[in-house]
A = this chain, B = another copy of it.
């Protein structure tokens, strides 16, 4: 877990402000849930592998004997936990507050989550997720609204040229069925296919053989993967989707994908920056339909992703409600946007000698603040350059030196290189 110093914190807050402003423009409304949720809710089987990575909070008022448990069962000692994603808490939130929400509810959540991962480069135990979700709309419009809002937001952050890889869990299921994988082996087969980017077609086939997957089905899948046509998906549309899939995928699944593409085109004009990818899997078990990932030409990893999870709300509400969400990888995006974007408010460092009277200095500072400036006061040190370099890193754009007879009128404001 990380400390954020002033320059980095300011950058993160500016990125969050852009995301918030764009998502709100698209009719999404920000909500907030507690960082801590009931232990039982977090471990209800909907969080996949992330459940195992959750931090658990000790019950209060425990006494010596409470700790003695032959089973070593954490649930006996913990009643709360830190959320490991924003989707499970959203489902709980919706079930709790449904009566006060619009029929179709479009939520924004921008908040930290925690996972007890082994510390490694680029993985943090506390990190921010930015999710938008649409609850209560089963139509392709929901996916289109999420994709349009996300692309607009990424554009506003200066990452133009992003695209969305898209698939449907039902198309994957149908495809595996067509090839002859039996129902029981399909979850394992999907875990292997998910590694295509990393291990390639050859690696996939080897791993499927090792799994002992139905021999003829692996043959059929290999032949399908090696077809030259599968490499050409664009432009997005029915013809291309059908070409990228084996025969036998239900028409309504394809129509849903086509509908998303048409709506994205309607909103953005021109060609939809969508790429149909019949091998896109995404890890989470709760997806039931469309799945997607955000790609950008500058990096070879995804900058976000999401999908439809029509079954989850029902687990909390006792009544199924369609839901689909798109999560932006905030930490990855912040790392990409490394340059310091300019601060709108003029920011000034007043560098003063030791002999300047406190009240003269504080009155001058107050006057400059009233003029609309952001003002930091620092006593002159031997290393003036070091002082100014750090101030510039913190977003200060100008400085002025103050001695005992400096007034507002005589103050000389100089820009910092």
Contact = CB atoms under 8 A, between A and B. Distances in A.
A369 B116 contact: no
B34 A2 contact: yes
A145 B6 CA distance: 19
A27 B351 CA distance: 13
Contact of A3 (B93, B102, B262): B93
Tally of this chain's copies: 2
B145 A24 contact: no
B60 A58 contact: no
A36 B55 contact: yes
A247 interface: no
A26 B369 contact: yes
A32 interface: yes
A362 B3 contact: no
Given A25-B369, A58-B77, A267 B362 contact: yes
Nearest to A37: B1
A148 interface: yes
Given A70-B64, A378-B102, A126 B29 contact: no
What is the size category of the interface that chain A forms with chain B? Answer: 35 or more
A63 B72 contact: yes
A289 interface: no
Given A104-B379, A358-B259, A67 B68 contact: yes
Interface stretch (A136-144, A320-328, A334-342): A136-144
Nearest to A17: B17
A202 to B, nearest CB: 36
Nearest to A387: B102
Interface in A245-269: 259, 262-263, 265-268
Contacts of A126: 34-36
Given A72-B63, A379-B103, A30 B58 contact: no
A9 interface: yes
Interface centre among A12, A29, A68, A265 (most CB of B within 10 A): A29
A357 to B, nearest CB: 9
B72 A64 contact: yes
7 contacts: A1-B34, A9-B31, A26-B369, A56-B57, A259-B358, A263-B362, A266-B363
Given A57-B58, A62-B72, A103-B381, 9 more contacts: A13-B30, A36-B126, A67-B72, A67-B77, A106-B376, A148-B362, A266-B359, A266-B360, A267-B365
* 10 A-B pairs with the lowest CB-CB distances in the bound complex, closest first: A64-B72, A6-B29, A1-B34, A27-B376, A266-B359, A267-B366, A4-B32, A266-B363, A56-B58, A141-B358
